[in-house]
Amino acid sequence: MKLFSRISSVIAIVSTLVTSQVMADSDVRISIDEGVSMAQPIAVVPFKSNGVPADVAQIISDDLQNSGKFTPLERARMPAQPSSAGEVMAEQWSAIGIDNIVVGQVSSVSGGYNIAYQLIDTLGTSGAAGNVIAQGSFIVPEAHFRQGGHTVSDQVFEKLTQIRGAFRTKIAYVVQRGVSSYELRVSDYDGFNAFTITTSKEPLMSPEWSPEGSKLAYVTFENKKAQIVVHDIRSGARRVVAALQGHNGAPAFSPDGSRIAFASNQDGELNIYVVGSGGGEPSKLTSNAGNNTEPSWSPDGSTIYFTSDRAGAPQVYRMNSSGGAASPMGGRGSYNAKVSSDGKNLIMIAGDRVVKRDLASGSTEVLSSTFLDESPSISPNGIMVIYSSTKGTSKVLQLVSADGRFKANLPGAGGHYKFPAWSPYLIN
């Protein structure tokens, strides 16, 4: 077989975000609450290997299941365990309802491992049963072995759904342990390879990724003052970009990364401001219209969505990104709005639930079924939402698909897990 796409350089790009603080384990894991009965069946056969750091087939299988669009076959039900297309008997798999099968091998090479895979059509929809419809070979260093598995997942997912995979993305979140211990953490989307960006005895809040994924903006209460900082993940350098009198919060990068929208109450009421991502003099976008907070940009940067109580109760509004008149969008009691990357849907909180609003039709759909939901953040391909909810006396992270059919939680190892933020794509 002909293998292609050696992408050790791509793996290196992603791995540069991971500092020496990376942990072999982490404090959250995806635990599925509600799967999708009509998801596409697929088999990911254990890869042929010897002495590898992790089960790459299990990584791929978990990724595909976590997307809510696939139901991987249990290993105990597999009729065979081929490692290449030449060993696959398509009728064995189609007879048990499997549409596609992933096979592969992992071998040791100088400086790491070679992960090779083939995606095989078992039904013949590509023209003939047994056709190889995608394949690849990736060399990865041992420390970033899981990224190789996620790379296979991304390619398989895109081939079968025509949607770009987002399994090599990351999430940022805040962990509060006790009354005076806060950590800003970053992990792979599935909770692995977590590391700490910063710690504080004062609250840390509202992390947001820069568009290229190299920086985080967040709120810190260091020096007993709420201010917004931009933190370079690779170098660790920090810069205060907003420290107006009073409270400064809810930062949001513009799509081109040049500006940050935020909220401040320096004049007594909360208003929306915009400042350069490197700091400077902020511009005020709202005034004399109640409290205005939680700004979020449209994908083209022309519009800012935000929460305002100007009509007597919180609800989501939108305005031009240079300010001006605002129009209600989310309905009474809505807040925490984010726009999907294609600009078609608004994900927000309403009635303490995660809700999706179609911006063209105005129709709404409740996605979540958890308690006191907040801080939704959308995956860059728009198919999943991560958010925080209350479970017992703790705050926990939750996942829900954008169609509401797949639900999972990320139970934490002690503490309150809050303010999740999904990264953009970290490779081109």
Backbone angles phi, psi at 154, to 5 degrees: -60, -45
The packing angle between helices 8-15 and 145-161, to 10°, is 110
Confidence category of residue 5, pLDDT binned at 50, 70, 90: very low
What pTM was computed for the model?
0.91
Per-residue confidence (pLDDT) for residue 275, from 0 to 100:
98
Mean pLDDT confidence for 23-52 = 77
- Ordered by start, the domain boundaries in the chain are 38-161, 170-422
DSSP 8-state assignment for residue 73: P
| Helix (H/G/I), strand (E/B), else coil: 242 | strand
What is the Cα–Cα distance from 136 to 390, expressed in whole angstroms?
42
CATH class in words for 38-161: alpha beta
Amino acid residing at 231:
H
Mean pLDDT confidence for 42-69 = 95
Q: What is the maximum alpha-carbon separation in the chain? A: 71
- For the chain, the average pLDDT equals 91
User: In Å, how far from its chain's centre is CA 273?
Assistant: 26
Q: Which residues of 63-88 are buried (b: 16+ CB within 10 A; e: fewer)?
A: bbbbbbbbbbbeeeebeeebbbbeeb
Q: What percent of the chain has pLDDT over 70?
A: 92
pLDDT tens digits, one per residue of 103-122: 999 999 998 999 999 999 99
**Alpha helices (H) in 101-168, listed in sequence order:** 145-161
Mean pLDDT confidence for 288-295 = 95
Domain 170-422 carries which CATH code? 2.120.10.30
Mean pLDDT confidence for 188-209 = 96
Per-residue confidence (pLDDT) for residue 179, from 0 to 100:
86
Q: Are domains 38-161 and 170-422 of this chain identical in fold?
A: no
| Helix (H/G/I), strand (E/B), else coil: 12 | helix
Vertex 22 angle, CA 17 and 23, to 5°: 150
Q: How many CB atoms lie within 10 A of CB 16?
A: 12
Per-residue confidence (pLDDT) for residue 35, from 0 to 100:
58
| Helix (H/G/I), strand (E/B), else coil: 422 | strand
Confidence category of residue 33, pLDDT binned at 50, 70, 90: low
pLDDT tens digits, one per residue of 330-358: 899 999 999 999 999 999 999 999 999 99
Amino acid residing at 288:
N
Give CA separation, 168 vs 36, 60, 121, 129, 194, in Å: 23, 12, 25, 30, 14
| Helix (H/G/I), strand (E/B), else coil: 50 | coil
Is the pLDDT reported for residue 247 higher than 50? Answer: yes
Q: Between 383 and 8, name the one with better pLDDT.
A: 383
Structure tokens at 339: 């726009």
Is the pLDDT reported for residue 2 higher than 90? Answer: no
Structure tokens at 288: 């004399």
Per the DSSP assignment, residues forming a β-bridge with 397 are 388, 410
What is the Cα–Cα distance from 117 to 23, expressed in whole angstroms?
27
Beta strands at 100-109 and 40-44: parallel, antiparallel or unpaired? parallel
Amino acid residing at 121:
D
